[in-house]
Structure 1
Amino acid sequence: MNISQTDTSHSRNILEQGKQSLIHDPLGGDEAKITLVRAKGSYVWDDQGRQYLDCTSQAWSNNLGANDPRVVEAAIAQLREITHARPNFNTIPLLKLTAKLREISPGDLNRIGYCLHGSLAVEMAMKLAFKNKPGRHNIIVLQDAYHGRSLTTMAASWPHPNNPFLPIQPRFTRVPHPDPYRPRLGMDVEMESKLCLRLLEETIHKGVDGGVVAIMMEPIPGNGGHIDLPLSFLRGVRDICDRNDIILIWDEIQSCFGRTGAMFAADYFGIVPDIMTFGKGISGGFPLAGILASERLTGFESGEDALTFGQFPVAMAAAVATIDAIIADDLCGKARDHGAFATQRLHEMADRRKLIGDIRGPGLFVSLELVKDRVSKEPATKAASEVYRRGLEKGVLFGESRYAGLGNLIKVKPPLDCTHEDMSHALDVLDDVLGSIEADGIA
């Protein structure tokens, strides 16, 4: 029975008071915001009893479909034993998860630290990098980077419009990266990759004072446009770090645990960073994040990195069950299959829907960029907002890069274990919605 059938008017008033009292809206205002009450697999339900196919996987966190019984049972079993332990102590879930991550981690990324969300994982990675390169002062990031919403990670991300926090934020050096859809000066992909690598190395030697600790980047820029960074660029950055004794940090909060069609993007691209952040898809919807670090790096000493709830036993038990399920169900393979099907359908759709400018992957890291005109490639931000709104009306939740009204990217990223029928339905709705938007002349 849904909440609208069971709630009294008094409790409904309480919910409305709660909405009015929230101090922030993480998406910058959403008139269509719904109140979720239940989730199962690839679906969520709101407080009016309406069902939605969730192509956002709740901020790309439900790589394994929501409320998977194996994860729920593992969490319940742990709830009966111990729900909290301060970081001075070990717990069984902590040790089991650490051993599991060591087993599946790329290369020598066998030192593991934990926290509860991605921003703190990124900060942990930066702290470890500074500890291992004493006397240096700079971290370099990419221009379209997104690393979080804490004071530090917001500063490391693409510029925040009218940023009120600048006086207390650290400074990062942003460098350009190749963009195959919008190459500079009409360059081909490889030439632009070489240009950006050259500019990166010149920045290291001439553009900063105090030496470079680390280059921090997402292998696939998540909130920055899902840009297909060329493999030559990714390999080139690794080479520059090696030659200049700089730590390479990969932020895999959005790309880990099967989303690309491999357990990690590092596996997909065949490149091992020195530190990798993880989060979102690791724990079946429970809060958990952290880092994988090279055995060559010195770890933290007492008091340098400790969080009261940083090793939440319930989330860790859920994470062990989630990773086991991802492997047992071959969700990496399913991500590749669903992604190939989706991108093929989107390319066919692009023959009819002129709003579609570009289609991106890999795996179920699927997105399409909407443009007003395929020649000018001017972003169609209003059309993107309409895709979200009209998709919602038709029972499908599409991801949208809506931050500050800048986004024109639509994301189609359901759980990796969604059915073929659900994937096909989502794309049918998207096709229909794009057609109606074009017919209304919205761009």
Structure 2
Amino acid sequence: MNGGKDAFATEVGGLQTLAQSSDKITLVKARGSLVWDDKGREYIDCTAQAWSNNLGANDPRVVEAAIAQLRDMTHIRPNFESLPRRKLVAKLQEISPGNLNHVGFALHGSLAGEMAMKLAFKNRPGAQNLIVLQDGYHGRSLATLGASWPHPNNPFLPIQPRFTRVPHPYPYRSRLGMDPEVEVQLCLGLLEDTITKGVDGPVAAVMMEPIQGNGGHIEFPRSYYKGVREICDRLGVLLILDEVQTGFGRMGTMWAAEYYDVVPDIIVFGKGIGGGFPLAGVLADDRLTWFDEGEEALTFGNFPVSLAAGLATIEAIQMDNLCQKARAAGEYATERLLEMQKRRKLIGDVRCPGLMVSIELVTDREKKTPAQKESQEVYRRGVELGVLFGESRYAGLGNLIKVKPPLDIERPLLSRALDVLDEVLGAIEEDSK
């Protein structure tokens, strides 16, 4: 895809000499679902830039809102209220599930996750533990890195907080070939046993992603979400849903909490809210005690430019019916991938819902052997053909390919990306013969 390359090459020609020598692509421009590098090459972005551009990149409504705020005031310390903050809080309260009316802001999901942890411990005095799921991912700050799936050769263990990890259902790789619902009951039993007998002292919260993003794009059977909520209620433990990747339309609903009909005590949000600007935070049940002065304050935590962009982004998501568009695009992509699976032996499993779309690659369907090298090769060849696919984990540890573009991706672009994926998988399979 090189339409407009000559004109664009002129625009970016002066930037080429500034690009550092690196294996990484140097991106210089983005519009909607397309990005361009410093050599003028065009790519379909099926990563939405780390799943952050739910609304297509550089949407004029978001850019204009940010520019307008820049002209008025670029920074307001957290001791003061601001109009962008007041308006965005009202909008978030309008769209939040249940009674999640407390709102706090940060500039990235990791600190929002830490905010949620702090709030949980504040509201469960004497609690000493926080439980997370195996394969969960909550960020790369000091605390959230410790709450995420084990990182090999982690040099920060001596100063990291410790979290208790519990098993979760994995329908594609269920234990001993268990029926998925049997495995759900097993994992719920293990969760309850861990809370009551597996840790020293009370548990403040269970923190989990509705769909595990970096850990393998794992969706649980619907009964698991209900079961976790029931256990938390019965044992007096808070439930935190980390919706940094699933929020703001990605699932075909505004929140995964709506999709699974489970309202947590705290939602962690980020990525898709900012329209490309750094913005994250928490929504908390108004029954919870909020922070006292000095317990949660970040100098740039209420960055007014991001707040203005966030309000414009949510309004655009609503105005453009992006939840509905995500459902339709996800159904189309899933149908195409299921058909592809019949022909491409590398595809072990196809996952959705909405535009949370991915495939798990295996070298042997019977043994379900993870195809890690092949996944890296899919990414590499996709780049050569003008498509940026998402991957799972880092350093070649994952075996997933993700198709998670902006929610308003045009159908011809999505179709082209899937055509490329089909072509690449076919070529890799042919080379392995």
When normalised by structure 1's length, the TM-score is 0.94
Deviation at 1:420, TM superposition (A): 1.1
* CA offset digits 1:358-385 (Å, max 9, x no partner): 0001100000000001000010011100
SS of alignment partner, residue 168 of structure 2: coil
- Separation of aligned partners in 2, 1:393 and 1:124: 41
1:84-233 correspondence to structure 2 within 5 Å: 84-233=75-224
Q: 1:313 aligns with which of 304, 308, 318?
A: 304
Deviation at 1:186, TM superposition (A): 1.2
| Pairing of 1:363-382 with structure 2 (within 5 A) | 363-382=354-373
Post-superposition Cα deviations, 1:135-187, rounded to whole Å, max 9, x if no partner, equal 11000000010000001000000001011100000100000001100011111
* Contact 2:273–2:313 (8 Å) recurs in 1: yes
Q: Is the 8 A contact 1:2 1:47 kept in 2?
A: no
Deviations, residues 98-135 of structure 1 (Å, cap 9, x unaligned): 00000000000011000000000000000000000011
Tell me the distance in 2 between the aligned counterparts of 1:253 and 1:401.
16
Whether the 8 Å contact between 1:385 and 1:402 is mirrored in structure 2 is no
Measured after TM superposition, the shift of residue 12 of structure 1 is: 5.5
* Alignment match, 2:336: 345
Partner of residue 389, structure 1: 380
Q: How big is the shift at 1:314? A: 0.6
For residue 3 of structure 1, report the CA deviation from its aligned partner: 6.6
Query: What is the number of equivalent residue pairs in this alignment?
Result: 427
Query: What code does the residue aligned with 1:338 have?
Result: A
Q: Give the whole-Å Cα distance in 1 for the aligned partners of 2:385 and 2:396.
A: 23
Cα deviations by residue, 1:166-224 (Å, 9 ceiling, x for unpaired): 00001000000011000111110100000000011001111100110000000110111
Query: What residue in structure 1 maps to residue 282 of structure 2?
Result: 291
Indicate yes or no: 2:264 matched with 1:270. Answer: no
Q: Could you tell me the percent identity over the aligned residues?
A: 68
What is the alpha-carbon distance in structure 2 between the residues aligned to residue 13 and residue 218 of structure 1?
A: 42
Cα pair distance change 1:97/1:391, threshold 3 Å: same
Give, in whole Å, the separation in 1 of the partners of 2:293 and 2:255.
Answer: 30
Displacement, 1:14?
4.9
Say whether the 8 Å CA contact 1:252–1:276 is kept in structure 2: yes
Matched, 1:252 2:243: yes
Q: Which runs of 4+ in 1 moved over 3 A?
A: 1-8, 11-15
CA gap of 1:367–1:423, structure 2 versus 1, over 3 A, is same
**Paired letter, 1:105:** S
Question: What CA distance in whole angstroms lies between the structure 2 residues aligned with 1:114 and 1:12?
Answer: 37
Secondary structure in 1 matching 2:294:
coil
Preserved contact between residue 217 and residue 251 of structure 1 (Cα < 8 Å): yes
Q: Which runs of 5+ in 1 are unaligned?
A: 21-30
The alpha carbon displacement at 1:404 in A equals: 2.9
Counterpart of 1:107, as a letter, is G
CA contact (8 A) 2:251 2:326 kept: yes
Runs of at least 5 residues in structure 2 that lack an aligned partner in the other structure = 1-6
Match of 2:411 among 409, 420, 440: 420
SS in 2 for 1:238: helix
- Give the corresponding residue for 1:59: 50
Please tell me the residue identity of whatever aligns with 2:185.
Answer: K
Cα distance between partner residues in 1 of 2:42 and 2:346: 28
Aligned counterpart for 1:408 among listed residues 382, 390, 399: 399
The CA RMSD over aligned residues, in Å, is: 1.3
8 Å CA contact 1:197–1:233 kept in 2: the answer is yes
Q: 2:35 aligns with which of 28, 44, 47?
A: 44
Residue type at the aligned position of 1:372: T
SS at match of 1:405: coil
Question: Where does residue 81 of structure 1 map in the other structure?
Answer: 72
Query: What is the SS of the residue equivalent to 1:292?
Result: strand
2:40 is paired with a residue whose SS is coil
Contact 1:128 1:300 in 2 (8 A): yes
Per-residue deviation, 1:15: 3.7
CA separation in 2, counterparts of 1:400 and 1:421? 22
Aligned residue in 2 for 1:23: none
Say whether the 8 Å CA contact 2:102–2:284 is kept in structure 1. yes
Aligned counterparts of 2:324 and 2:239: Cα–Cα separation in 1: 28
Q: 1:333 aligns with which of 324, 329, 332?
A: 324
In 1, are the aligned partners of 2:12 and 2:28 still within 8 Å (CA)?
A: no
Question: 2:4 matched to which residue of 1?
Answer: none
Distance apart, 1:405 and its partner CA: 1.9
With normalisation by structure 2, the TM-score equals: 0.97
User: Which residue of 1 is the match for residue 3 of structure 2?
Assistant: none
Question: Which is worse superposed, 419-428 or 50-59?
Answer: 419-428
Say whether the 8 Å CA contact 1:115–1:307 is kept in structure 2.
yes
Q: Are residues 435 and 12 of structure 1, via their aligned partners in 2, closer, same or farther at CA, if it must alter by over 3 Å?
A: closer
